[in-house]
């Protein structure tokens, strides 16, 4: 089994999950706890990657982080090198694909927190930030971990958007999903089967963790 693409996929998935968590958890809390004009429109906008063809998402990213894009130009001005066709671009693609899962499931996790408990903490003198950090976040933790597990599984198997912005460069940006495609095209069934088995097992594990955590919130019959 080609090990390098698998290790790169793990690296990208972990980084993308962390990035999606840093961005998605605060947004999920905002959507769950605050009413403001355009709240549902923002939720819908952040959910668009779930229904877009991966190549369309990849094209949008290419417009933003490509050499003519705002972020791409700024990155190249600072580093002297383009952002596209790098591991960083692959991380951004995977994060964009998995962010909606963090927002959707994270919002549900925060919405399930008893508001009276948070208000009690505020009454006892806790600041909004302290109440969020010490009360609300721990109570929503199981749901947030489930959201991050799903995001990791999604990022691990990302293909289309990553191919658009990072390419399929063996030893550089070739992920396990791309290695499976290349192996299948080349007739290397042994390599393809091995990678498929590993990725499927990891995805199953992530879904199992998600289900177990979700059952922790469900009422017992």
pLDDT for 215 equals 65
CA angle 14, 20, 22 (to 5 degrees): 100
Per-residue pLDDT for 210 more than 70? yes
Instruction: Let me know if 1 is exposed, middle or buried by CB neighbors in 10 A (0-12, 13-18, 19+).
Output: middle
3-state SS assignment for residue 48: helix
Per-residue pLDDT for 113 more than 80? yes
The CA distance from 191 to 205, in Å, is: 21
Class of domain 3-215: mainly alpha
Domain range annotation of the chain: 3-215
Task: Point out the least confidently predicted range of 22-26, 84-88, 196-200, 213-217.
Answer: 213-217
Query: Cα 166 from chain centroid?
Result: 17
The CA distance from 180 to 79, in Å, is: 32
Name the strand (E) or helix (H) holding 136. Answer: none
Token representation of residue 132: 């969020």
pLDDT tens figures, 138-188: 999 999 999 999 999 999 999 999 999 999 999 999 999 999 999 999 999
> Across residues 21-35, what is the average pLDDT?
94
Contacts of residue 124, defined as CB under 8 A and 6 or more positions apart, other chains included, come to: none
Predicted confidence band of residue 118 (pLDDT cuts 50, 70, 90):
confident
CA angle 107, 151, 194 (to 5 degrees): 160
The CA distance from 49 to 51, in Å, is: 5
Average pLDDT, the chain: 91
The CA distance from 169 to 96, in Å, is: 21
Contact 85, 93 (CB under 8 A): no
Q: Is residue 66 left, alpha or beta, with left meaning phi > 0 and alpha meaning psi from -120 to 50?
A: beta
Alpha helices in the chain, H assignment, sequence order: 3-33, 39-47, 54-65, 70-79, 87-111, 115-123, 128-131, 137-139, 141-156, 160-166, 176-186, 189-215
Predicted confidence band of residue 220 (pLDDT cuts 50, 70, 90):
very low
């Amino acid at each position: 089994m080609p090990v390098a693409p698998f290790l790169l996929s793990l690296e990208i998935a972990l980084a993308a999950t962390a990035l999606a968590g840093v961005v998605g958890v605060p947004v999920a809390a905002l959507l769950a706890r605050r009413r403001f004009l355009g709240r549902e429109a923002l939720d819908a906008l952040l959910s668009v990657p779930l229904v877009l063809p991966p190549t369309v998402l990849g094209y949008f990213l290419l417009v933003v982080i490509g050499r003519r894009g705002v972020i791409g130009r700024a990155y190249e001005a600072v580093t002297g090198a383009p952002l596209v066709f790098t591991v960083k671009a692959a991380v951004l693609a995977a994060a964009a694909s998995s962010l909606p899962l963090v927002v959707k499931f994270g919002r549900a996790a925060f919405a399930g927190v008893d508001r009276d408990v948070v208000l009690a903490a505020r009454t006892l003198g806790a600041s909004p930030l302290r109440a969020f950090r010490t009360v609300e976040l721990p109570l929503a933790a199981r749901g947030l971990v489930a959201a991050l597990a799903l995001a990791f599984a999604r990022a691990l198997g990302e293909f289309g958007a990553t191919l658009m912005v990072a390419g399929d460069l063996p030893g550089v940006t070739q992920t396990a999903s791309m290695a499976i495609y290349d192996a299948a095209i080349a007739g290397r069934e042994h390599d393809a089967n091995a990678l498929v088995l590993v990725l499927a097992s990891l995805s199953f594990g992530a879904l199992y963790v998600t289900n177990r955590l979700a059952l922790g919130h469900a009422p017992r019959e």
